[in-house]
Structure 1
Amino acid sequence: MAKFSINDFHGVIPALVTAFDLDGTLNEDLTRGLTASLLSRGVDGFYLTGSTGEGFMMSPDERMRVVQVVCDEVAGRVPVMVHVGAISTYQTVALAQQAEAAGADAISSVPPIYWPFTPDQIVNYYTDVTASTSLPMVAYNITLAGALGFDMLARLATIEGLKGVKYTAPTHFEIGRMKREIGPQFRVFSGADEMAMSGLAFGADGLIGSFYNIIPELYADLTKAMAEGRLDDAKALQDKANDIIFFTLQQYPMSAVKRVMAWQGADAGYCRKPFDNYETPEQEAALKDAFRAFRDSHDLSGIGFLDGI
């Protein structure tokens, strides 16, 4: 049974990576360890098996197992939202019901993918999935899986139990519009890490993203600065975060995030192919050298993993 309500999701919520061995095997022990590490660093919740979690790279049974392992490790200390999106309503409902049974507090989904579904079919999808559990649903707007425009989100907001959106898009004026026209009770989670300050400025209720796996403290400080109206401080923190984000995106991005987590004492394993990996000690050493050179050429003191390498 869920412990938290949708209003308990706020602050800095990592879109949790999933740990795999180099051969692609799901590593439950590492997944448990990285969850515990982020809890110790004060994150405000978790978002599981989404894009960052390589959810579409896993079988339904593997996705279910990740949710079980993480919910068991979290043990009700922070709220957990599970991405359950799949190519069919049938499969999505099964994932949603398993997430509820495992102790998740909310579910989330991209719209149905691959075929060009009609607006009515998309609404029917969210209606059916939301009705399949007692958990609140958060729609997931991301261009990779088919963007949900304002008019569609307004329609989805009328579905009983659909309580918000994970909004991963640069059009942050829509966040303000949702808060005004759909209503302040409709929860909006900013999903663009490089625009967290903007998302919060337009009224986002929290942050969900990839880089909160490696620099959650920086974003916690940014969130606090925004809440206190210290805009100059918030901008300086966003600039630091963006330097790190843009540099990491020039590497093998998700594999680099996982290696950085390992340098912080929480080995997150590797990515599944066809993603690239830093497979050898020499490749990882070169990555670390690149981060050192990057650190030394930027004003990035006080960033834990950069100070530590």
Structure 2
Amino acid sequence: MTHTAATAPPFGRALCAMVTPFTASGTLDLDGARRLADRLVTEGCDGLVLNGTTGESPTTSDEEKAALVRAVREAVGERAAIVAGVGTSDTRHTIELTRQAEKAGADGVLVVTPYYSKPPQDAVEAHFREVADASGLPVALYDIPGRTGTRIAPETMLRLADHPRIVAVKDCSYDFLGAQKVIVRTGLAYYAGCDEHNLALYAVGGTGWVSTVANVIPRQVRAVLDAFDAGETARAARLQQRITPLVEAMMAADLPGTVTAKALLGRLGLPGGPVRAPLRPAGREAVGGLLAAYREAVAGAVAEA
């Protein structure tokens, strides 16, 4: 058995939602970003999402966002696609960030639903179309109503699929039926945005994943897709199960994934640095639990190899 997605992957299959490394004093750590990006690509990621939620986009400046894209492009060259998060609650600002990302060397942009103002579906659709019209970059829609307060309804997604530059979706809707409905009826590339759905969405025609957990175990998260593509579906399920405790520890323990990823990266001696306020670092007990789950995931992958 080989995997058949609804369309060819526009940004690769295995994308890491990369943290934005900061120095101990809280400034942007471009050298650390280069080193982290190189490690992620070397360990199996064929795409990197920068300046997303995990990248602390609410607390980085426009200048920092552009500098990060340029630095990572320099580090990875053409070995991986770079997708820049540009979504804001303001259509004009989102367009500005899209054009900035294009100039900085991004291969595509990730555009989240405008948040807080809760626009109706016709306004959501108009927002995405205006952004897609503003540059030559392909666009991935980011559906995460738990954070934005507004869903991209499947019917809206079906209409947006006719835009030539709207090519993908990062799905954090927790509406598995809705996602399948759009996969079946469009050519949009669907990426799981919640690590617990990586294998499940892939199995029904998804394109791959945008993973926060891949910041710390890129090779192990990638191995799930590789096993499925090789027709080893039972092994793919076991590999997904092996990393599930770490997924839970990082993504479902009342701490944002940015906080848990940076806590682990720091303990592993990898670039990450502190989080910016209002986020706060993980406490000692939380870090202990994260490390235990990390060691279990790595040991499980070794045992399965």
Change (3 A) 1:196 1:295: closer
Q: 1:49 matched to which residue of 2?
A: 51
- Are 1:165 and 2:165 matched, yes or no? no
- Are 1:82 and 2:67 matched, yes or no? no
**1:23, distance to aligned residue in structure 2 (A):** 4.1
Amino-acid identity (%): 25
1:247-288 CA distance string (max 9 Å, x none): 23437443331232234442211111111215xxxx66x666
**1:242, distance to aligned residue in structure 2 (A):** 1.2
- Are 1:250 and 2:237 matched, yes or no? no
CA distance in 1 between counterparts of 2:217 and 2:15 reads 11
Q: 1:148 matched to which residue of 2?
A: 152
Match of 2:271 among 267, 274, 283: 267
CA distance in 1 between counterparts of 2:113 and 2:288 reads 40
Aligned residue type for 1:233: R
**1:80, distance to aligned residue in structure 2 (A):** 0.9
Contact 2:142–2:169 (CA under 8 A) maintained in structure 1: yes
CA distance in 2 between counterparts of 1:122 and 1:261 reads 36
CA distance in 2 between counterparts of 1:188 and 1:97 reads 24
Match of 1:276 among 272, 275, 280: 280
Change (3 A) 1:49 1:190: same
Q: 1:192 matched to which residue of 2?
A: 194
Change (3 A) 1:295 1:277: closer
Change (3 A) 1:251 1:257: farther
**1:291, distance to aligned residue in structure 2 (A):** 4.6
Change (3 A) 1:105 1:121: same
Aligned residue type for 1:92: T
**After the TM superposition, which residues 95-114 of structure 1 pair with which residues of structure 2 at under 5 Å, given as runs?**
95-114=97-116
Match of 1:133 among 119, 132, 135: 135
Contact 2:16–2:215 (CA under 8 A) maintained in structure 1: yes
How many residues matched?
292
Aligned residue type for 1:136: P
Contact 2:132–2:138 (CA under 8 A) maintained in structure 1: yes
**1:92, distance to aligned residue in structure 2 (A):** 0.9
**1:303, distance to aligned residue in structure 2 (A):** 5.1
Change (3 A) 1:294 1:127: closer
CA distance in 2 between counterparts of 1:222 and 1:194 reads 12
Contact 1:172–1:202 (CA under 8 A) maintained in structure 2: no
Q: 1:37 matched to which residue of 2?
A: 39
**1:204, distance to aligned residue in structure 2 (A):** 0.7
Supply the RMSD in Å over aligned alpha carbons. Answer: 2.4
Structure 2: runs of 5 or more not aligned? 1-7
**1:14, distance to aligned residue in structure 2 (A):** 0.2
**1:158, distance to aligned residue in structure 2 (A):** 2.1
CA distance in 2 between counterparts of 1:270 and 1:291 reads 16
CA distance in 1 between counterparts of 2:107 and 2:215 reads 20
Contact 2:194–2:211 (CA under 8 A) maintained in structure 1: yes
- Are 1:301 and 2:299 matched, yes or no? yes
